[in-house]
């Protein structure tokens, strides 16, 4: 998942505003109690999300894929007092843990946490949406994009995680491609070719696609 040497990652972490006690708790509890803890955003990506949110200053932010709430807390910390984050996830087994973290963060009033399939939830969200973070099942990235793009405000930002997919996007001739890798390849090409956005693929952790609605 990491594409630069460990010592450089540690240097980046050492020169990034650190996790507070709550985010350390989210990390610790996730690693102890939840499968696939590597899905956590982590301090580097989390602080990036917080600062991006502060820069964008969205009225409405949407997160597709809450997991244990780390990234949602980071985004919510970047919101102004009148703004809202809608975050959604299909895993109801994590609900008690996640709601507990949101309450502990003091930001629960800014976060609308919805359980269910994003494909069912997104059509009912009224725009304009100013910021979207996509970090759910990769097979549906393109569908998520299609459901939100026309709801984005002009200048609104879409961020999609894991678009380098542990390096699997660099397909060698004759290599068999699994369905998740193909979905990410299709999504990256879709964004690149869409005239409604301008975009940059950032090599942060497992890759983040940033698309700005024109």
Q: Mind listing the pLDDT tens digit of every residue in the chain (214 residues)?
A: 566 788 988 899 899 998 999 999 999 999 999 987 777 888 999 999 999 999 999 999 999 999 999 999 999 999 999 999 999 999 999 999 999 999 999 999 999 999 999 999 999 999 999 999 999 999 999 999 999 999 999 999 999 999 999 889 999 888 899 999 999 999 999 999 999 999 999 988 899 999 999 9
DSSP, collapsed to helix, strand or coil, labels residue 115 as: strand
Rounded CA separation 95/179 (Å): 29
Nearest residue to 86 via CA among 120, 142, 129: 129
Q: State residue 3's pLDDT score.
A: 65
Beta strands in 34-186 (DSSP E): 60-64, 84-89, 111-115, 129-134, 152-161
DSSP, collapsed to helix, strand or coil, labels residue 18 as: coil
Rounded CA separation 185/175 (Å): 14
Number of other residues whose CB lies within 10 A of the CB of residue 53: 24
- Whether residue 161 contacts residue 206, with contact meaning beta carbons closer than 8 Å, is answered with yes
DSSP, collapsed to helix, strand or coil, labels residue 61 as: strand
Q: State residue 41's pLDDT score.
A: 85
Secondary structure of 149-168 in HEC code, one letter for each residue: HHHEEEEEEEEEECCCHHHC
Which residues is 63 bridged to in the sheet?
A: 87, 133
Confidence (pTM): 0.95
Q: State residue 1's pLDDT score.
A: 57
Q: Which CATH architecture has domain 6-213?
A: 3-Layer(aba) Sandwich (3.40)
């Amino acid at each position: 998942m990491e594409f630069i040497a460990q010592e450089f990652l540690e240097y980046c972490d050492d020169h990034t505003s650190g996790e507070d006690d709550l985010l350390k708790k989210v990390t610790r509890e996730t690693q102890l109690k939840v499968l696939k803890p590597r899905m956590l955003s982590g301090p580097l990506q989390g602080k990036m999300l917080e600062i991006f949110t502060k820069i964008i200053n969205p009225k409405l932010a949407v997160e597709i894929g809450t997991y244990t709430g780390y990234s949602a807390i980071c985004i919510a910390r970047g919101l102004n007092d009148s703004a809202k984050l809608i975050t959604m996830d299909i895993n109801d087994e994590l609900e008690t843990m996640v709601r507990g973290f949101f309450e502990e963060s003091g930001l629960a009033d800014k976060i609308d946490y919805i359980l269910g399939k994003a494909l069912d939830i997104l059509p009912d969200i009224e725009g304009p949406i100013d910021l979207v973070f996509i970090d759910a099942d990769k097979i549906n990235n393109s569908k998520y994009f299609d459901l939100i793009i026309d709801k984005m405000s002009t200048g609104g930002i879409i961020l999609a995680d894991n678009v380098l997919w542990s390096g699997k996007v660099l397909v060698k001739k004759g290599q068999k491609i699994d369905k998740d890798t193909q979905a990410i390849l299709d999504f990256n090409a879709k964004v690149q070719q869409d005239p409604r956005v301008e975009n940059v693929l950032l090599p942060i952790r497992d890759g983040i696609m940033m698309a700005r609605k024109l």
